[in-house]
Structure 1
Amino acid sequence: MRLKTKLVLSATGLTFAIVLVLSALFLSELLRQRIEQTAAANDVLVHEVWLEMRKAVETGLRANPPVDRSDEALHRAVVDALRSETALMQVMNTIVRYSPTVQDVSVTDAHGLTLLSTDPDAVDQPAVFRFSLASVQNGPISRQMRVVFGKPRVLDISQSLERNGAPFLVVHVGVRSTFLKNAYEPWLLDALIFAALAALAAMLSAGLLANVALRPLESISARLESLTKAGGPIPERLLESRSTRSDAVVRVTKTLDRLGEQMRTQEAGYTALQANLNQMLDTLRDGVLLFTADRRAVMVSDAVAYFLGAPLNQDHEKLVGMRLEEIFAPDSVLGEAVLEAFAEGGQVSAQALTLEDGRQVQFSLDRISGQIDEELAGAGSVATLLTLRDMESVAQLGQELEVARRLAAIGRLTAGVGHEVKNPINAMVLHLELLRGKLAPGGAEAFGGAQRHVEILSGEMQRLDRVVQTLADFSRPMELHLKEQDLRQVVEVVMELTAAEMQENRVQVMVDGPREPLMVRVDAQLMQQALLNLLLNGMQAMPEGGAMVVRMRRDHQFAVVEVIDEGEGIPKELLPRIFELYFTTKPKGSGIGLAMTYRILQLHGGAMEVRSNADPGSVERGTTFTFRVPVASGVGGESRKAAGAVQKELGERV
């Protein structure tokens, strides 16, 4: 079966199902309305009988009052009044005779005993239980269908005459379901015929409209085939068979597959370039913007926000597509210089600027020739690459490289020293143990003083052995177990580990972090060790206690943690040396913790810096350690368009 035929049949079948459902709802609503009309009409008859009954009771009791005040005397008087009133019986018989749905009419007392009825055999007999027509009227459509067209039964419509707030006499009108069925069948048959005709008409219309709607596929298929022929050779697996050439839908599908194959082939070369460019922009500290000839940005790196003073959580992808004048404010130092350079139309190489907040930046302007073909060359179209560089970041990067070189040199040195010193120490320890055994207590008194010197030598060798072992541990390559972690949870674990010691040393630690997760790809245990070293270092700098703040935030592509203490501070002349191995300002410090922390951050592609104020009279006295680690890839939205956007923008002008 052709796909076109399947689509037409599917549309027709769907239309038939919809019409069928609507027809069922239409018929059910008609049945409900008819039952409501029947109930309303018979309710009028019940009230008519009820009025005649009340009139008969009032007239009979006035003519023949009860012999006493007992309930039995009143009951006999009411029964005599009802049976002696011929007008009431005439009304009841008239209803049964002329109403098409009523089977009988009766009057019962409060105990259900039939006092008066159009059926003589029911008089003085208990009334038979019947379902109320009101319950059928208010019930679901399934019950209405079952009652009207199912097993014959009699439904009841009643109205009571009350005495002292309780039913005294009750009028019953019995409606037979077969009478309802006979009354409803004519219009129900007409409604079914109408629904069938409507469904047939809808199916024919749907089939015709579907067939007409699919006709333009022939012309669409022809145009798509011309595109595929112009795009190059067609793979044999996508060629059409003779059985499908006449099916327009299949032809369009095959043609779209061929176009997709050609597009994937042509774009495969750009995918790797785009991935490399995105990775470079993610880790680049310089702000990079690429503008087309009409000064519209087609590529923006995350670091641009740092130079514009934008909020850290701003969606910088919105800058893509904006004009140069919309990105750089003309009343700012940077904006004025950039707009002036664009207006002059030349090249700018590392022009230095001082921003309003005192930051030293450089910007460069490089023109990219747009002479792709003669038409583009005649238009003089060019693209412009704007690069923004923070001189403070350059200096900081140089300092980090210098520290890294020092640590690398120390690592190479310790590896050699540890190997050369470890073996002699082991031999010396062995011979000292032998000498100690020979100079055991109880020997000659001449050797009594030598025992003490042996003990001193042994202790010093053990201390030297620990130093060498530390050197070996520091130079040993670390095996990282990287996993995406929420940096807030890493900090929380360290807070739990140090809580008791901080409380004992009267140090109050406050954590200030973002509400949203701060995801990083790190070795959780090593990061906890690095943060633990900073917290303990801050605690030891406050021997009298104090306050410490651990602050977390996101700075573009980096997660930043600051450990701020209000301790004694580090003198300015010692700051460049604090990350050197074995350098310490504490009497009992080892000089290993900060060096190890710096190394851990290096292994994670991060960086670390320190600011300190050692002035005893300053209110800002204390030290702030700041480390940065890259956020996990894929967290947050990208903030630039890839190289494909450049190709698209320039391609539209060709």
Structure 2
Amino acid sequence: MRLKTKLVLAATGLTFAIVLVLSALFVSELLRQRIEQTAAANDVLVHEVWLETRKAVEAGLRANPPVDKSDAALHEAVVNALRSQTALSDVMNTIVRYSPTVQDVSVTDAHGLTLVSTDPDAVDDKAVFRFSLASVQNGPISRQMRVVFGRPRVLDISQSLERNGVPFLVVHVGVRSTFLKNTYEPWLLDALIFASLAALAAMLSAGLLANVALRPLEAISARLEILTRAAGAIPERLGESRGTRTDEVVRVTRTLDRLGEQMRTQEAGYTALQANLNQMLDTLRDGVLLFTADRRAVMVSDAVAYFLGAPLNEDHEKLVGMRLEEIFAPDSVLGEAVLEAFAEGSQVSAQAITLEDGRQVQFSLDRIDDGLSGAGNVTTLLTLRDMESVAQLGQEIEVARRLAAIGRLTAGVGHEVKNPINAMVLHLELLRGKLVPGGVEAFGGAQRHVDILAGEMQRLDRVVQTLADFSRPMELHLREHDLRQVVGIVMELTAAEMQENQVHVVVNAPREPLTVRVDAQLMQQALLNLLLNGMQAMPDGGAMVVRLRRDHHFAVVEVIDEGVGIPPELLPRIFELYFTTKPKGSGIGLAMTYRILQLHGGAMEVRSSADPSSVERGTTFTFRLPLAAGAATESRKAAAAGAVQKELGERV
């Protein structure tokens, strides 16, 4: 069987299944409506009998009241009243005679004893149990079908007559299921015939439409073959397969498979190249923009917003696809220089300009010719570089170099000093054991000097151990954490000590999470060092602010104190191991914090004012960590890919 025939049959079968389901729903909805109509009509009859029963009881009790106030006398009077009133029996018999679905009508007392009924054999007998028609009406369609078209049964519709809030008499109308079946069968048969005709018509229409819709496949197959041959996917000549009578659907499928394989190969290379490029752009401090020949941006790095003076929370992805004139304002210094360089059409190498806020910026223009379509398709690479960032990066590299040198030095010194210290401590303990405590004064003086030597050796041992710990390689356990939660844990750890030193800490954090991939324990240690350093800088107490924010694809934490500040001449040395200005400081905390940030690919900077008369007196430590790869990177990829595809489409 040809695939085209299979598709036609599949479409026809699917249409038949859909029509069949819709027909079943249609028939079931009709059955539900008919049951509701029957229930509503019989409910009117029940209320009519209930009203006549009430009138009969009232008239009978007025004519023949009970002989006494007992329940038995009242029950006997009510029974006589119901049986003596011909109007009640006439109504009940009329309902049974003319209603097509009612089998019997009866009135029972509260205990189920039949007092009057259209069935003489049921009088003075216990009423049999019957299912309520309301339960069938409110039940699922499967139960309605079983009740109506299953074994015969009588359904009950009841209405109670109350006395002092308690049911006194109950009116029952019995509806027989066979009567319902005989009433519903004619219109149900008509509905089934209509549904069958609709299903048949739908099947024929689906088959015809599917056959007509698949006719253009032969033309599509021929065009696809031309396309694949032009791309080199099919080596044979164009006319070799035109004489064959193969299935058009099979030919299209095979051709699409060839094209898909070719596209997947090209897409894999493009995806790998784009992933590498995105990774570089995420961590690059220079602003990089790639413009097409019509000056439309197809690639924008995160750092571009910094040069444009955009807000920190503004996404750079929206710059992709914009024209050069929309990105750079002509009335700004940077915009004027860039637009002029583009207008001249020449190469620009590290041209320096000064922005309105005093920042020194260099920009370069590099023309890239694809070598295929002539000079009209030359793309332009614009690079923006902040000279202050370059100087800061050089300073960070110098600090890192110093820490690395200190690490190598401490590793060697620790190993060489540790063994002599251990031997000295051993022999000192032997000497102490030979001195008699409380003996000759000379020995007493010697004991004091021995104790001093022992204490100094222990202190030297601690120093050597600290050197060894600092130079030991750290094993990172990287997981994705919300930086807000990491800061919250550190705040809980330091809350009691901060309160004891009269330091009030305020945390400013954004509402959205700042997800970073870090070792939580090491990052808590780094934050703890900064908080304790700020607390110790405020001996008389004060306020400290911990501010968290997002700077494009980086999470930034600022620890701001109102302490004594750091003199400018000491700022370049604060991250050196064992350098400290505190009498009891170890000089290890800031060096360890800097090392932890380096291991996480982060950076740290500090600014401080030690002028007592300045309102900005204090120190601000700022460190930034790269955010975990997420939706922002994916959106930038999609935007860049969309812009490239748009450009390619315009060229084609």
Q: TM-score, normalised by structure 1?
A: 0.82
Q: Secondary structure at the match of 1:440?
A: coil
**CA–CA separation in structure 2 for the residues paired with 1:172 and 1:412:** 101
Q: Is the 8 A contact 2:321 2:643 kept in 1?
A: no
Q: Is the 8 A contact 1:610 1:624 kept in 2?
A: yes
Q: Secondary structure at the match of 2:371?
A: helix
**CA–CA separation in structure 1 for the residues paired with 2:133 and 2:299:** 76
The question of 1:646 aligning with 2:640 is answered no
Q: Deviations over 1:312-345 (max 9, x none)?
A: 2222111100011111222322222222222233
Q: Is the 8 A contact 1:302 1:639 kept in 2?
A: no
Q: Deviations over 1:339-358 (max 9, x none)?
A: 22222333333233332333
Q: Deviations over 1:406-441 (max 9, x none)?
A: 223333433444444445445554555555555555
Q: Return the offset for 1:631.
A: 2.4
Q: Is the 8 A contact 2:12 2:203 kept in 1?
A: yes
Q: Return the offset for 1:296.
A: 0.5
Q: 1:109 to 1:336 in 2, by over 3 A?
A: same
Q: Deviations over 1:46-81 (max 9, x none)?
A: 899899999999999999999999999999999999
Q: Secondary structure at the match of 2:545?
A: strand
The question of 1:453 aligning with 2:449 is answered yes
Q: Return the offset for 1:161.
A: 9.5
Q: Return the offset for 1:287.
A: 0.6
Q: Secondary structure at the match of 1:553?
A: strand
Q: Is the 8 A contact 1:231 1:262 kept in 2?
A: no
Q: Secondary structure at the match of 2:477?
A: coil
The one of 585, 590, 594 equivalent to 1:594 is 590
Q: Secondary structure at the match of 1:385?
A: strand
**CA–CA separation in structure 2 for the residues paired with 1:201 and 1:128:** 50
**CA–CA separation in structure 1 for the residues paired with 2:33 and 2:58:** 38
Q: Is the 8 A contact 2:317 2:636 kept in 1?
A: yes
Which 10-residue stretch deviates more, 135-144 or 252-261? Answer: 135-144
**CA–CA separation in structure 1 for the residues paired with 2:547 and 2:248:** 65
**CA–CA separation in structure 2 for the residues paired with 1:542 and 1:95:** 98
Q: Is the 8 A contact 1:101 1:179 kept in 2?
A: yes
Q: Is the 8 A contact 1:282 1:557 kept in 2?
A: yes
**CA–CA separation in structure 2 for the residues paired with 1:64 and 1:428:** 127
Q: Is the 8 A contact 1:334 1:355 kept in 2?
A: yes
**CA–CA separation in structure 2 for the residues paired with 1:69 and 1:171:** 25
RMSD of aligned residue pairs (Cα, Å): 4.8
**CA–CA separation in structure 2 for the residues paired with 1:436 and 1:609:** 51
Q: 1:467 to 1:229 in 2, by over 3 A?
A: same
**CA–CA separation in structure 2 for the residues paired with 1:20 and 1:451:** 107
**CA–CA separation in structure 2 for the residues paired with 1:50 and 1:454:** 116
Which 10-residue stretch deviates more, 434-443 or 72-81? Answer: 72-81
**CA–CA separation in structure 2 for the residues paired with 1:487 and 1:12:** 58
Q: Secondary structure at the match of 1:374?
A: coil
Q: Deviations over 1:114-162 (max 9, x none)?
A: 7877666667777767666666566654454444433334556788999
Q: Return the offset for 1:99.
A: 6.0
Q: 1:132 to 1:330 in 2, by over 3 A?
A: same
Alignment-derived partner of residue 25 in structure 1: 25
Q: Is the 8 A contact 2:369 2:375 kept in 1?
A: no
**CA–CA separation in structure 2 for the residues paired with 1:433 and 1:277:** 64
Which 10-residue stretch deviates more, 457-466 or 614-623? Answer: 457-466
Q: Return the offset for 1:236.
A: 14
Q: Is the 8 A contact 2:516 2:555 kept in 1?
A: yes
**CA–CA separation in structure 2 for the residues paired with 1:439 and 1:224:** 103
Q: Which runs of 5+ in 2 are unaligned?
A: none
Q: 1:244 to 1:581 in 2, by over 3 A?
A: farther
**CA–CA separation in structure 2 for the residues paired with 1:71 and 1:445:** 121
Q: 1:8 to 1:405 in 2, by over 3 A?
A: same
Q: TM-score, normalised by structure 2?
A: 0.82
**CA–CA separation in structure 1 for the residues paired with 2:435 and 2:65:** 141
Q: Is the 8 A contact 2:370 2:378 kept in 1?
A: no
Larger radius of gyration: 1
**CA–CA separation in structure 1 for the residues paired with 2:470 and 2:550:** 30
Which 10-residue stretch deviates more, 629-638 or 582-591? Answer: 629-638
Q: Is the 8 A contact 2:46 2:159 kept in 1?
A: yes
Which 10-residue stretch deviates more, 63-72 or 626-635? Answer: 63-72
Q: Return the offset for 1:518.
A: 1.9
**CA–CA separation in structure 2 for the residues paired with 1:133 and 1:644:** 63
Q: Is the 8 A contact 2:369 2:377 kept in 1?
A: no
Q: Deviations over 1:349-371 (max 9, x none)?
A: 3233332333222222222xxxx
Alignment-derived partner of residue 78 in structure 2: 78
Which 10-residue stretch deviates more, 589-598 or 627-636? Answer: 627-636
Q: Is the 8 A contact 1:570 1:623 kept in 2?
A: yes
Which 10-residue stretch deviates more, 436-445 or 246-255? Answer: 436-445
Q: 1:635 to 1:489 in 2, by over 3 A?
A: farther
Aligned residues: 650
Q: 1:431 to 1:104 in 2, by over 3 A?
A: closer
Q: 1:83 to 1:227 in 2, by over 3 A?
A: same
**CA–CA separation in structure 2 for the residues paired with 1:454 and 1:169:** 112
Q: 1:8 to 1:574 in 2, by over 3 A?
A: same
Q: 1:440 to 1:241 in 2, by over 3 A?
A: farther
Alignment-derived partner of residue 500 in structure 1: 496
Q: Return the offset for 1:586.
A: 1.4
Q: Return the offset for 1:640.
A: 4.6
Alignment-derived partner of residue 418 in structure 1: 414
Q: Is the 8 A contact 1:56 1:88 kept in 2?
A: yes
Q: Return the offset for 1:282.
A: 1.3
**CA–CA separation in structure 1 for the residues paired with 2:329 and 2:566:** 41
**CA–CA separation in structure 2 for the residues paired with 1:81 and 1:91:** 15
**CA–CA separation in structure 1 for the residues paired with 2:531 and 2:587:** 15
Q: Is the 8 A contact 1:270 1:644 kept in 2?
A: no
**CA–CA separation in structure 1 for the residues paired with 2:447 and 2:52:** 135
Which 10-residue stretch deviates more, 573-582 or 155-164? Answer: 155-164
Which 10-residue stretch deviates more, 515-524 or 55-64? Answer: 55-64
